[in-house]
């Protein structure tokens, strides 16, 4: 199996859209600055030019994505990281408008962005995709209680069929913090489970020449083993619920994608 060319300097652009302030203190995404910092540091180390956009409305996000889709990409790869609240239908802009899957990916399809044809297009999305909590099958007796907050979203209605990302064209890699229908979790102190694990795995295994698929398997394993606790109020009673999380990734890559620094 071949590898994608990854020798340009810089290797490409890493776009980070980090929505933290939604105009309501209860919905402020505390800890997402830690995710932004970790992503920026690791992708600069991997040879990417990093651009950060904070607190964007849905229309602003769509405009940013369309603009990058029209760019003449000289590098070997494009990476996009979206950190926000979310729902089953997409991710939220700071105005609570929805940015759908099509809004995110279609600007980079082959007919829209020819300069990225035959080049890997990588997306990491940290956001809720529903309101369900993962049931705990096996609880670790020595699991530490953590201060965490769900990527809260408003849409109550859940789709019953599992989503599979089938993209219009080859060379896409999409990793999400949770499977469809479920919450995603974030520490207000240290950042989200998914992004922090992803960055640690990239730092550890990129120098060893592991490909992105293997690194995401390691990320999935680490996040799935974590155990946290959230606070919920029901019938005027405070309940503490133990929670877990399962990330997911989908790929139409045709070769190994290796980010060796």
Which CATH number covers residue 56? 3.40.50.1460
Single out the catalytic residue among 14, 80, 128, 199.
128
Q: Give per-residue pLDDT as tens, 72-84.
A: 999 999 999 999 9
Which residues does residue 98 pair with via DSSP β-bridges, in sequence order?
92
Ramachandran assignment for 50, one of left (phi > 0), alpha (psi -120 to 50 degrees), beta (any other): beta
Q: Sorting pLDDT into bands at 50, 70 and 90, what band is 178?
A: confident
4 in any annotated domain: no
How far is the C-alpha of 115 from the C-alpha of 72, rounded, in Å? Answer: 6
Query: Taking 90 as the threshold, does the pLDDT of residue 20 lie above it?
Result: yes
132 in any annotated domain: yes
Give the mean pLDDT of 172-193.
86
Q: Sorting pLDDT into bands at 50, 70 and 90, what band is 130?
A: low
- Total domain count, the chain: 1
Q: What is the pLDDT of residue 84?
A: 95
Is 85 catalytic? The answer is yes
Q: Sorting pLDDT into bands at 50, 70 and 90, what band is 206?
A: very high
Q: What is the pLDDT of residue 258?
A: 98
- The answer to which of 119-128, 202-211, 214-223, 228-237 has the lowest mean pLDDT is 228-237
Which residues, other chains included, contact 121 with Cβ-Cβ below 8 Å and sequence gap of 6+?
A: 77, 78, 80, 108, 171, 172, 173
The pTM assigned to this predicted structure is 0.85
Is 128 catalytic? The answer is yes
Expressed as residue numbers, the domain containing 77 is: 12-251
Q: C-alpha 183: how far from its chain's center? A: 13
Q: Sorting pLDDT into bands at 50, 70 and 90, what band is 152?
A: very low
Q: Sorting pLDDT into bands at 50, 70 and 90, what band is 87?
A: confident
Give the mean pLDDT of 41-52.
98
Single out the catalytic residue among 14, 73, 81, 85.
85
Q: Give per-residue pLDDT as tens, 179-188.
A: 877 778 788 8
């Amino acid at each position: 199996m071949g590898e994608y060319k990854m020798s340009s300097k810089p290797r490409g652009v890493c776009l980070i859209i980090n929505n933290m302030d939604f105009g309501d203190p209860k919905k402020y995404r505390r800890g997402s600055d830690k995710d932004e910092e970790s992503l920026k540091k690791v992708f600069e180390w991997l040879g990417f030019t990093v651009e950060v956009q904070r607190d964007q409305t849905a229309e602003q996000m769509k405009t940013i994505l369309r603009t990058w889709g029209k760019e003449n990409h000289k590098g070997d790869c494009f990476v996009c990281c979206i950190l926000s609240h979310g729902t089953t239908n997409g991710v939220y802009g700071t105005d609570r408008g929805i940015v759908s899957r099509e809004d995110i990916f279609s600007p980079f399809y082959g007919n829209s962005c020819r300069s990225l044809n035959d080049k890997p297009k990588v997306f990491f999305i940290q956001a809720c995709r529903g309101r369900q909590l993962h049931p705990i099958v096996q609880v670790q007796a020595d699991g530490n209680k953590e201060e965490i907050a769900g990527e809260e979203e408003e849409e109550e209605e859940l789709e019953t069929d599992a989503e599979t990302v089938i993209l219009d064209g080859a060379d896409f890699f999409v990793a999400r913090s949770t499977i469809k229908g479920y919450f995603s979790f974030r520490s207000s102190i240290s950042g989200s489970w998914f992004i922090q694990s992803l960055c640690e795995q990239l730092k550890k295994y990129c120098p060893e020449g592991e490909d992105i698929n293997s690194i995401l398997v390691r990320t999935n394993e680490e996040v799935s083993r974590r155990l946290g606790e959230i606070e919920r109020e029901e019938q005027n009673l405070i309940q503490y619920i133990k929670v877990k999380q399962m990330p997911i990734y989908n790929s139409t890559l045709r070769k190994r994608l290796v980010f060796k620094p």
